[in-house]
């Protein structure tokens, strides 16, 4: 079946503008995660959603970052007033269960803030 | 919260040799330890995982060992091949409502001919 998809694949934006990144998880996966990967760096956890539970936002770096998941499926990550340090690849992943389950990653969105 | 440290950051081995990547974790409640491989420009993919009720798991040329007492786990790749060249990430997770994966910083493995 279809894997995790993300859009856009690349986004170039000017400093100060808002951006929205989209993630379509694998159908039936209840857990959805957002990570940030800066060039040559590891995976920085941002936020996860699990079913109808309140999301864990503990990894969001500032209040400019927010995310929502509508209808338990599609998720959008919004970055307001983008800064150059926001430039990175934003990866979405989904899994059947939270925690002890394989996470399937999307191809990522490469965000460049000029 | 959980803290995962991974070493080395880069590793170069000759084709056919073995490669070992080591990780330590801080949260004794962690009980799930996956390893992901990320090839250049591609998404991370799970290659092997281990749960705390076992000490070792093998899958063909790759194996993972876990020492819960010392809170460290390792990835072993034998008979390395050029296609093993990638960045490898370890991670740790505890079960329960607060569980999420905490990743190590990655090891760039280069297998040379």
Residue B5 to residue B104: CA distance in whole angstroms:
5
Average pLDDT, chain B: 92
Mean pLDDT of A13-24: 98
pLDDT band, residue B29 (cuts 50/70/90): confident
Chain A residue whose CA is closest to B33: A100
Average pLDDT, chain A: 92
Which tokens belong to A88? Answer: 């990175």
Rounded to 5 degrees, what angle do the CA atoms A95, B106, B37 make? 50
pLDDT tens digit sequence for B74-98: 999 999 999 999 999 999 987 654 4
DSSP annotation of A3 reads -
pLDDT for residue A71? 81
Q: Best mutation site among B37, B51, B99, B110 for testing chain A: the one with the most A CBs within 10 Å?
A: B99
DSSP annotation of B70 reads T
pLDDT at B99 over 50: yes
Bin B61: left if φ > 0, else alpha if -120 < ψ < 50, else beta.
alpha
Q: For A110, what's the count of Cα atoms within 13 Å in the CB-facing half-sphere? A: 6
**Which B residues 72-111 touch A at CB under 8 Å?**
89, 93-106
DSSP annotation of B15 reads T
pLDDT for residue A41? 80
Q: Best mutation site among B39, B48, B101, B102 for testing chain A: the one with the most A CBs within 10 Å?
A: B101
pLDDT tens digit sequence for A53-104: 888 898 999 999 999 998 879 999 999 999 999 999 999 999 987 666 789 9
Residue B55 to residue B57: CA distance in whole angstroms:
7
Is the model more confident about B53 or about B65? Answer: B65
Is the model more confident about A98 or about B50? Answer: B50
Whether residue A100 and residue B43 make contact (CB cut-off 8 A), yes or no, is no
pLDDT for residue B97? 46
Mean pLDDT of A5-26: 97
Is A1 exposed, middle or buried, given 0-12, 13-18 or 19+ CB atoms closer than 10 A? exposed
Which residue among B6, B43, B49 places its CB closest to the CB of A107? B43
Mean pLDDT of B48-72: 93
Which residues does chain A have within 8 Å of residue B98's beta carbon, measured at their own beta carbons?
Answer: 56
pLDDT for residue A97? 73
Residue A59 to residue B40: CA distance in whole angstroms:
25
Closest CA to B36 of A20, A30, A40, A43: A43
Q: For A47, what's the count of Cα atoms within 13 Å in the CB-facing half-sphere? A: 20
pLDDT for residue A100? 66
Is the model more confident about A41 or about A28? Answer: A28
Whether residue A100 and residue B1 make contact (CB cut-off 8 A), yes or no, is no
């Amino acid at each position: 079946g279809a894997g995790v998809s993300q859009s856009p694949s690349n986004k170039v934006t000017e400093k100060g503008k808002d951006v929205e990144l989209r993630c379509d998880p694998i159908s039936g996966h209840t857990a959805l995660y957002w990570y940030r990967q800066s060039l040559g760096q590891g995976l920085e956890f941002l936020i996860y959603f699990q079913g109808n539970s309140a999301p864990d936002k503990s990894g969001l770096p500032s209040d400019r970052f927010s995310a929502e998941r509508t209808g338990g499926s599609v998720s959008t990550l919004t970055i307001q007033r983008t800064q150059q340090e926001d430039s990175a690849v934003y990866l979405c992943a989904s899994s059947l269960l939270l925690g002890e389950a394989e996470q399937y990653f999307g191809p990522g969105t490469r965000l460049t803030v000029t | 919260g959980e803290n995962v440290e991974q070493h080395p950051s880069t590793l170069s081995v000759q084709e056919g040799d073995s490669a070992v990547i080591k990780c330590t974790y801080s949260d004794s409640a962690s009980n799930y330890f996956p390893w992901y491989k990320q090839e250049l420009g591609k998404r991370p993919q799970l290659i092997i995982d281990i749960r705390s009720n076992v000490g070792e798991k093998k899958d063909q040329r790759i194996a993972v060992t876990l020492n819960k007492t010392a809170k460290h786990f390792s990835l072993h790749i034998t008979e390395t091949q050029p296609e093993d060249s990638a960045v490898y990430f370890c991670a740790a997770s505890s079960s329960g409502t607060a569980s999420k994966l905490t990743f190590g910083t990655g090891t760039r493995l280069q297998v040379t001919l």
